[in-house]
Amino acid sequence: MDHETKQPGDPSSVVLCPDGPILIRGDFEIVTPSGDPVPRHRNTVALCRCGASAIKPYCDGSHKLIKFRTGVPSTVDEDS
């Protein structure tokens, strides 16, 4: 059995989804500024970064409706 596929000390990873949310997986905690835990129902979460989600801090797909563009990590974006 290969138990070594995870990176050593792989606490969490943050994926910047092109034109979309921030995906976080691994071992982490989401808290309010005062330190209270934010309710969380799944291991891997998508955090809103377009500002339009109705279920913040989580993503609800609204970035697609407002045509949110990140520009940065997307592949080829000739017209920017």
Partner 1 sequence: MKKPEPRGPVSAELIDLLTRRPGADGAAQTELLGLVTETARLTDDILTDDDLQLALFCLYELHYGGLEGVDDLWEWEPGLIAVRRLLEEPFEQALRSAALVAAGPPADGNNAAAEGKPDSDAVAEMLFALAAQDGGPSLSRYVAKKATIEQLSEFLIHKSVYQLKEADPHTWVIPRLTGRPKAALVEIQADEYGGGRQHRMHSALFARTMDGLGLDSSYGSYVDAVPAVALASVNMMSLFGLNRRLRGAITGHLAIYEMTSSRPNHLYGGGFRRHGFGAEVTEYFDEHVEADAVHEQIAGRDLAGGLAEAEPELLEDILFGATAALAIDARLTAHIVEAWQDGRSSLRTPLPAPA
| Residue with smaller CB distance to partner 1, 4 or 34 | 4
Place of tokens 């209270």: 36
By CB under 8 A, residue 52 contacts partner 1:
no
Cα separation, 72 vs 19, in Å, equals: 9
Q: Which of 28, 49, 52, 60 binds partner 1 (CB under 8 A)?
A: 60
Q: Which of 25, 52, 68, 70 binds partner 1 (CB under 8 A)?
A: 25
Cα separation, 35 vs 37, in Å, equals: 6
Cα separation, 37 vs 66, in Å, equals: 29
| Residue with smaller CB distance to partner 1, 29 or 34 | 29
